[in-house]
Structure formats: structure tokens, C-alpha cells
Amino acid sequence: MSRHDVIIIGSGLGGLLCAGILARAGLDVLVLEQGAQPGGCMQTYRRQGLDFDTGFHYVGGLDEGTPMHAVFCHLGLMRLPWQRMDRLFDRVTIGGQTFAFAQGYDDFVQTLAADFPHERAALQQYARLLKQASAHEADLLDPTGAADPSFTERLMETNARQYLQSLFRDPLLIDVLSGTALKMELRRESLPLFTFVHGHSSYLESSWRLKGGASQLAGTLVRGIRAQGGEVLCKAQVAGLSGHDGKVSLARCADGTCHEAEFFISSLHPAATCALAGQSQPMRPAYRRRMAALENTCGMFTASLVLKPQTVEYFNHNHYVYARPDVWALPQKDGHVGGVLASCRVPEDGSPHVRQIDLLTPMTWEQCLPWQDTRAGHRGDSYLALKARLADECIALAEQAVPGLRDSVEHLYTSTPLTYRDYTGTPQGSAYGTRKDCGNPLGTLLPVRTPIPNLLLTGQSLMLHGVHGVMMTALSTCAELIGKERIWNIIKGTR
């Protein structure tokens, strides 16, 4: 039986970030991962000699002077081959018209105001809110307590769509501003403004792609953890947690091995964490019911395209294409594709032409229900037909941004929320973790602490999803163990 300071359950981005930070703070860290490789949605898979990402496409907020840049430097991640995206990094096509998002808050306003001159003042007001939200996010970790927690509360209690409708008069501009939001689930009745603005702010500050697969992130983090004396064990599924005196002391794996620790961090779904703790631990029934009742956001259908050589020029931006206005109607109830994100893989050989493009569109768990209890590879012709239809519709939409795309496709690989559930362990294949609700902010915005004092949570289901959101949540989790001052020093680049 091994003994450690901290055991972290799950090696997704949140778990690995926590492990990397805590290991560098001098703690003895063990990460237990049930899968064959670490990384969660940072994993890659290989087909026809090419690597494909499972969930990572671009990241915001990597400029020097930002919290993410400081944390990534601290963990050795800035040494990876990052590529800054175009000034007009996101483009949105709605009804045949194309609009652009520019990096930099002022440039963002100027670019959209050229298409919507009557909305310039409202765009400036919205940009001020985005800057305030970005600054406030880091201030929450300031050990002096400078941040006003009521700011987050107000954003969480405000309905995002209603806010946009109160600020902007042009419904097309509302759709354009929401058009890059395949990065979140646009629930018109429940999406908090908190989630919406954080889905924009870091990308406007700066947007980046990674040359090569996202597994580089996981690999760098794992090597850093081991260099500090920590360990990451794969094929180590935690089957249960046990302890005494109201605390957890032991993680028991499915193969019978046991590991002890002073503290435990779970990056699993909160309901799955409750299940591991068992009924003997001091979790109030109300807390267990609350975790079990959390709804999951929708998943993604992905069509990963391998293109014929020398057929499509690489484009250093993302392109969102919608079949019709009202992007808040996605995923469409009829199961057809109403919008798609086209994102290029950076050519690793320096070629001006791209070989890989991912097409993504929201997909509900309900669409997967007929096959949820069937093993991968045994779901039959109806499942294959569904994927073929969705891929065809994605390509048809994406051709508005990439003319001739269909004729350029050499190979096609598809995945659904079932794929994500099976291979990354994500409940219901959710793309953004648990659903946040402006009508129930206290019930859906989860703290890192649990009723068990030495069991903490991390990951995208707590506060924010995406690379930036998971990083900020990981910092909050680590602050509970090593203090806000040490985390603040990392953010400020003073270690």
C-alpha cells in the first residue's frame, strides 16, 4: 500500500493541472486514471498515420501578463509549439452573411461596429463587461480579498439571452455574438451571463492553436509531475473511497490495490464522486440528492476529415456556419444540423495546405438513447446511418466557408456523445460538464469543497468549462491545500 500527501482521481486537464501545481509546491502526489492513457479530452487517437484530437481545438488568454500564460509557464506548457491565430480569429456566417471577431477588446468593437454602426455604444458597453469579468476572475484568487463576490452572483443570476436583448436592438447582432458559442450550450431559458461572457473574454484577449495533438499538453504535465516525484498511474480505476473520523483515508482500485493519502481531489463528475465515497461517509442526503440531480449539458458530434493533399489552403481562424438565424435553437429538435464549427489542424510540415479539418455540431444525449446500452462497434447499421447523415449535413454547411470541401475529403471519421462517454468516461458524453442555471445559481455553481473536509472537487462541472475555465477552477482547488498566496504568486509570475 502506497502513502501520499494527495491522491487525484482522474487525469483530465483539471486533475493534471492540480497534480502539476501541487507537485511543484512540494507535495507527494498520485494521480489515478482508469483509462489506458492520461488526458481525458486531451487524448488523441491515430488513423491512417495521422493524429486526431478528441476535444481540444483552440484556447484563449495565452498572452504574456495573463493568468493562463503565467500558469502555463509555471508548468512548462508554454514551451509547446503554440501558434497565434489570425487577428480575425473567429468568423460567423449566418444566412449567407459573414462577420468576424477580432482579437483585442477595442478591435473587437471596431470590427463589429463596421457592420452594425448603430450598435457601437452597446458593443463598447459589452466589451467593458467582458474586460471586467476577465479581471474579476483572477481577483477571486487574490489573498487580500479584493474581489467583490457579488459581481459573480449578479452574472450568475442574469439570463444571458435576456441581457443581450436588453443591450442590443439588432437581433442579427445578438445571433452573431452568440454565433461562436458552440463553445457552450445556448439554453435560452437558463444560460447564465456568467457562463456566456467567460466563453468570450479570454479568446478576445488572444487566441491560439497548438501545432500537433493536444496529447502534448497531457504528456508535458505528466512528465512534470513525475519530475517532481509524483506519479500518474493508468488502468487504475478507483472503485471506492473509505476512511474514518469523517474523513477519507483510502482509495481502493478495481484491481484490489489500495492507496492512502491525507487529501483527495476528484476530477470526476460530482455524482460519481459521491458514489465512490459510499454511504458511510459524512455526506448529507441533501448533498447527494443535489449532485445526483445535476443535469449534463449536450454533447458534440464530430466529423474529422482527412483531405486530399494540396486541395484546401490552411486557414488560421475558426469558421462557424449556421443554416438560419436564431443560433439559440441549437441543437435542433428535429435532429438535423443547424450549425457547424470548422476548425483546421495546423500543418506540422509547414505546408500552406491543410490535411485535417474537424467539423463540430451540438448533439443531444436523447439522439443517442437507442444505442446507449450497446457496446462500441456493435451498434448496427442504424447508428452508422445516423452518423453518415450528420457528417453529410456538416460538410454541406461547412462548404459555405470552405468551397469544394466535399470533393476534397479523402477519409472521414466520426464521433458522437456515445464515443466520448465510452472513451473518456464523460457522463452522457457531455461537452461542457453540468448545466449551469441562472434560475438556480446556488444549486448549479458548485464549490470545490465537499461535506468531507479532505475531499475536494475540480474539473469543468464546478464553475467554468473549457481549458481556461478548468485552469481557473484547478487554481481554486489547489488554493484550498497550499493557500491563495502561493497561487497568487504563480498567477503574478513570482512563483
**Each residue of 217-228: pLDDT tens digit?**
999 999 999 999
Strands 339-344 and 44-47 turn out to be: unpaired
Partners of residue 93 on adjacent β-strands: 98, 321
280 has pLDDT over 70: no
What residue has cell string 457562463? 195
204 has pLDDT over 90: yes
pLDDT over 90, % of the chain = 75
Query: Is position 341 within any domain?
Result: yes
CA 369, 371, 374: angle at the middle one, nearest 5?
A: 135
Statement to judge: residues 220 and 74 lie in one domain: yes
423 has pLDDT over 80: yes
Statement to judge: residues 336 and 392 lie in one domain: yes
Mean pLDDT estimate for the chain = 92
Residue 395 belongs to domain spanning: 298-431
Sheet holding 59-60, edge to edge: 59-60, 207-210, 82-84
15-24, 290-299, 387-396: the lowest-pLDDT one: 290-299
* pLDDT number for residue 330: 85
What is the pTM for the complete model shown?
0.95
Sheet holding 97-102, edge to edge: 97-102, 88-94, 318-322, 339-344, 356-363, 299-307, 409-415
Model confidence over 153-171: pLDDT tens digits?
899 999 999 999 999 999 9
35-49, 122-136, 333-347: the lowest-pLDDT one: 35-49
Model confidence over 169-184: pLDDT tens digits?
999 999 999 998 788 8
Statement to judge: residues 342 and 236 lie in one domain: no
Most confident of 43-47, 147-151, 269-273, 354-358: 354-358
Q: How many domains is the chain built from?
A: 2
Most confident of 124-138, 224-238, 421-435, 441-455: 224-238
The C-alpha cell at 250 is 483510502
Statement to judge: residues 329 and 407 lie in one domain: yes
Statement to judge: residues 259 and 335 lie in one domain: no
Query: Is position 319 within any domain?
Result: yes
Structure confidence at residue 50 as a pLDDT band (50, 70, 90): confident
> E strands along 113-267, which residues?
207-210, 231-233, 238-244, 247-253, 258-266
Structure confidence at residue 281 as a pLDDT band (50, 70, 90): low
Statement to judge: residues 380 and 409 lie in one domain: yes
Statement to judge: residues 258 and 340 lie in one domain: no
377 neighbors 287 (Cβ within 8 angstroms): no
Query: Is position 229 within any domain?
Result: yes
Statement to judge: residues 347 and 411 lie in one domain: yes
38 has pLDDT over 80: yes
From the centroid of its chain, how far is CA 304?
Answer: 18
Model confidence over 371-391: pLDDT tens digits?
999 988 899 999 999 999 999
Statement to judge: residues 309 and 392 lie in one domain: yes
* Closest alpha carbon to 176 in 84, 241, 233, 94: 94
* pLDDT number for residue 11: 94
Model confidence over 83-108: pLDDT tens digits?
999 999 999 999 899 999 999 999 99
Statement to judge: residues 367 and 460 lie in one domain: no
Statement to judge: residues 313 and 422 lie in one domain: yes
Query: Is position 460 within any domain?
Result: yes
Statement to judge: residues 237 and 330 lie in one domain: no
409 has pLDDT over 60: yes
* pLDDT number for residue 238: 95
414 has pLDDT over 70: yes
Count CB-CB contacts under 10 A for residue 441: 18
The C-alpha cell at 181 is 458559442
For the segment 232-251, the average pLDDT, to the nearest whole number, is 92
**Distance in Å from the first CA to the final CA of the chain:** 33
User: How does 296-324 read in b/e, with b if 16+ C-beta sit within 10 Å?
Assistant: bbbbbbbbbbbbeeeebeebbbbbbbbbe
Query: Is position 246 within any domain?
Result: yes
For the segment 336-345, the average pLDDT, to the nearest whole number, is 95
